[in-house]
Amino acid sequence: MSNTIFAFGLGIGAQNKEGNWLEVFYPTPSLNVEKSTLDALLESTNYEGGNSTLVLDEGDLNRLHMSLLKAGNIEQAELASRLKASTKPVILCILATDEAPTNPAEVYLKLQLISHRLVQPHNTVLDGMFGLLINTAWTSEGPIDVRELADRQLSARMEGRTIEVFSVDKFPKMLNFVVPAGIRVGDAARVRLGAHLAEGTTVMHEGFVNFNAGTLGNSMVEGRISAGVVVGNGSDLGGGCSTMGTLSGGGNIVIAVGEKCLIGANAGIGIGLGDRCIVESGLYITAGSKVAVLDENNQVVSTVKARELSGQSDLLFRRNSATGAIECKTNKTAIELNEALHAHN
Q: Is 288 annotated as contributing to ligand binding?
A: yes
User: Are 304 and 291 contacting, i.e. CB atoms less than 8 angstroms apart?
Assistant: yes
Q: Is 319 annotated as contributing to ligand binding?
A: yes
Q: Which of 106, 222, 259, 327 is catalytic?
A: 222
CA distance linking residue 71 with residue 67, whole number of Å: 6
Q: Is 30 annotated as contributing to ligand binding?
A: no
Q: Is 313 annotated as contributing to ligand binding?
A: no
The backbone torsions φ and ψ at residue 325, rounded to the nearest 5 degrees and listed phi first, read: -70, 145
DSSP of 258-273, one letter per residue? -TT-EE-TT-EESS-B
Q: Is 281 annotated as contributing to ligand binding?
A: yes
Q: Is 59 annotated as contributing to ligand binding?
A: no
Q: Is 320 annotated as contributing to ligand binding?
A: yes
User: Are 313 and 275 contacting, i.e. CB atoms less than 8 angstroms apart?
Assistant: yes
Q: Is 280 annotated as contributing to ligand binding?
A: yes
Please, which residues have CB within 8 angstroms of residue 221's CB and are 6 or more apart in sequence? 201, 202, 203, 204, 207, 208, 209, 215, 231, 237
Q: Is 190 annotated as contributing to ligand binding?
A: no
Question: Is 106 assigned a catalytic role?
Answer: no
Which of 57, 66, 109 is closest to 85 using CA atoms?
A: 57
Q: Report which secondary-structure segment, H or E, holds 71.
A: helix 58-71
**Binding-site residue positions for succinyl-CoA:** 224, 239, 242, 265, 280-281, 288, 305, 318-321
**Binding-site residue positions for Mg(2+):** 206
**Binding-site residue positions:** 206, 224, 239, 242, 265, 280-281, 288, 305, 318-321
Annotated catalytic residues are 222
